[in-house]
């Protein structure tokens, strides 16, 4: 593969990642609506800890690929949980 091929591959992967993040966001909105209906707090420290712990034990965080080391997957998990917790949706 040449440089343009690799760049195209990265662009395609970025598109897939964005689609997945949008799906995750939609799920977080649905959870937020359920929490509102059930008068539950939007932020759950226990759930955040569970998500972060899950990311530390995931297959991705155990891989030897330098671009998917535990620090990267933990940062992504923390970022997505932070965004969900900041809105009345997750």
Range of the domain at 68: 3-86
- In whole angstroms, what is the distance from residue 20 CA to residue 22 CA? 5
pLDDT at position 13: 97
> How many structural domains comprise the chain?
1
> Would you report the helix, strand and coil content of the chain in percent, each value rounded to 5?
80, 0, 20
Whether the predicted pLDDT of 27 surpasses 90: yes
- In whole angstroms, what is the distance from residue 20 CA to residue 39 CA? 28
Global confidence as pTM: 0.64
Backbone phi, then psi, for 69, in 5-degree steps? -70, 165
- In whole angstroms, what is the distance from residue 12 CA to residue 14 CA? 5
Q: What CATH number did the domain enclosing 51 receive?
A: 1.20.59
- In whole angstroms, what is the distance from residue 90 CA to residue 88 CA? 6
Whether the predicted pLDDT of 26 surpasses 80: yes
Reported as a single tens digit per residue, the pLDDT across 47-86 is: 889 988 887 776 665 565 666 555 666 666 667 666 666 6
> Which pair of structure tokens corresponds to residue 71?
């620090």
């Amino acid at each position: 593969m040449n440089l343009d091929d690799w760049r195209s591959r990265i662009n395609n992967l970025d598109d897939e990642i964005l689609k997945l993040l949008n799906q995750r966001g939609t799920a977080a909105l649905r959870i937020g609506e359920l929490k509102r209906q059930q008068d539950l707090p939007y932020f759950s420290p226990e759930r955040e800890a569970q998500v972060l712990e899950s990311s530390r034990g995931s297959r991705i965080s155990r891989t030897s690929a330098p671009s998917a080391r535990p620090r990267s997957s933990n940062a992504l998990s923390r970022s997505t949980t932070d965004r969900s917790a900041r809105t009345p949706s997750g």
